[in-house]
């Protein structure tokens, strides 16, 4: 089974879903046969490079402060209940995540994609880490055990910019209007943040649909051994049913 997970590191629901996906896989009996592929989707690519506070962003989008506080308090409460503590959804700064996504693409090529995605979520929401400039992203890379010089070369060359953009175009082609957005086996979409149980159920349904086991059919319509159950035609011709004994 293949699970493609589109997200952005500044999306608080994505941080929840990253955790819930791990929890669901921990309960999924076929987890060792599941491939998780993280893909990029930037929700605020036009934010200033120096970043803006979450409360300021709410004002920029004309969202009443009370509504915003209520929404983010609910997210923080859910994160706390799931063991993500601290989880700063309100008291933080947001910025453009193009460099962050390009670093994540490099980590994926190094076979460390899922691990570094999770580390970046924890850095941002757990420690309010700002990851908008090259230097900020490179400092994170070094702390995550990636080669800083190699990461700097990749960011300076914009080696992964095309892949990041292609990820977003593919999500939009599939009908995504935001994050989080998951696709299972290229056939089933899980849009938005759902609970761990719901995600596990979706995985189980997709697995069952892809691994249907044929069942032998029960024969109906016969009453005794002299009925014409053998009266059928095949590649070798037609069989003549037995005649009942006189």
**Per-residue pLDDT tens over the stretch 136-169:** 999 999 999 999 999 999 999 999 999 999 999 9
> Could you tell me which of 45, 46, 63 has the C-alpha nearest to residue 54?
63
Residue 29 token pair: 């009996």
- Taking the CB of residue 100, how many other CB atoms lie within 10 A of it? 27
244: pLDDT strictly greater than 80: no
Q: Output the pLDDT for position 214.
A: 72
The per-residue DSSP string of 98-167 comes to HHHHHHHHHHHHTT-HHHHHHHHHIIIIIH-----SHHHHHHHHHHTT--HHHHHHHHHHTTTHHHHHHH
CB 199 within 8 A of CB 190: yes
pLDDT band of residue 222 (cuts 50, 70, 90) is: low
State the DSSP H helix or E strand holding residue 228, giving kind and residue range, or none if neither: none
pLDDT band of residue 223 (cuts 50, 70, 90) is: low
């Amino acid at each position: 089974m293949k699970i493609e997970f589109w997200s952005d590191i500044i999306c608080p629901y994505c941080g929840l879903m990253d955790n819930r996906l791990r929890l669901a896989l921990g309960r999924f009996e076929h987890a060792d046969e599941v491939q998780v592929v993280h893909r990029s989707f930037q929700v605020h690519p036009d934010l200033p490079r120096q970043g803006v506070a979450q409360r300021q962003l709410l004002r920029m989008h004309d969202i009443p402060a009370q509504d915003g506080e209520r929404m983010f308090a609910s997210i923080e409460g859910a994160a706390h209940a799931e063991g993500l503590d601290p989880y700063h959804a309100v008291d933080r700064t947001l910025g453009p995540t193009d460099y962050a996504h390009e670093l994540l693409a490099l980590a994926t090529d190094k076979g460390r994609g899922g691990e570094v995605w999770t580390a970046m979520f924890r850095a941002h929401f757990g420690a309010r880490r700002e990851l908008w400039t090259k230097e900020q992203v490179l400092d994170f890379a070094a702390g995550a055990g990636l080669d800083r010089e190699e990461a700097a070369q990749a960011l300076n060359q914009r080696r992964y910019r095309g892949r990041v953009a292609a990820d977003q175009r593919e999500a939009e082609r599939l009908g995504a209007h935001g994050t989080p957005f998951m696709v299972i086996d290229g056939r089933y979409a899980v849009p938005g943040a759902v609970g761990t149980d719901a995600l596990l159920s979706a995985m189980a349904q997709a697995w069952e649909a892809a691994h249907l086991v044929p069942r032998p059919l029960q024969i109906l319509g016969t009453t005794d051994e002299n009925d014409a159950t053998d009266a059928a035609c095949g590649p070798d011709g037609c069989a003549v049913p037995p005649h009942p004994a006189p």
